Amino acid sequence: MSARRVRSLNYSLVTHRATAALGVAFTVVHIVALLADNFVDIGWFEVLMPFATIWRPGPVAWGVAGLYLLVLVEATSLIRRHLPYIRWRRIHLNSYLLFAVITIHFLSAGTDVHRWVPQPVAVVSGALLLTAAGWAYVRADRQADPTRAG
């Protein structure tokens, strides 16, 4: 049973890290595309400063906030071994806030926001996140108290 548990943990960790790396990669591609696009005039200042753009300043500010949260979560994950576990964990829990912030950005900033795809994508991904978080919570609770039936 312990071998299965380790294999499952390794698979989960690899999947988690790969998903995080994809999130960073897609964010970099998104920023490069914004800088190269001629549709709106967005430069580095607008990418890094909330409310600096004249094009949809509120929704873009959500994206800038998401960028800073992503940098915070990813940077502290890279230096995890140098941080006390509880501090790292508290910072890492900002991932849930990050998900909410980028979902708001996704549903309000894009030019395709009024098409039929964005809302179902947000609902399905939100439901998957809540399901995964609930499952992790139940698993952690069972691991903390092995005498508990379940």
| φ and ψ at residue 111, rounded to 5 degrees | -80, -20
Give the residue carrying structure tokens 């600096």. 52
Instruction: Please state whether 98 falls in left (phi above 0), alpha (psi between -120 and 50) or beta.
Output: alpha
pLDDT tens for 58-95 read 999 999 999 999 999 999 999 999 999 999 989 998 99
For residue 65, give the DSSP letter. Answer: H
Q: What average pLDDT score do residues 40-49 get?
A: 91
**Cβ atoms within 10 A of the Cβ of 88, count?**
17
pLDDT range class, residue 2, cuts 50, 70, 90: very low
Summary mean pLDDT of the chain:
84
How many whole angstroms separate alpha carbon 54 and alpha carbon 138? 45
How many whole angstroms separate alpha carbon 64 and alpha carbon 75? 16
pLDDT for the residue numbered 5: 54
pLDDT for the residue numbered 140: 65
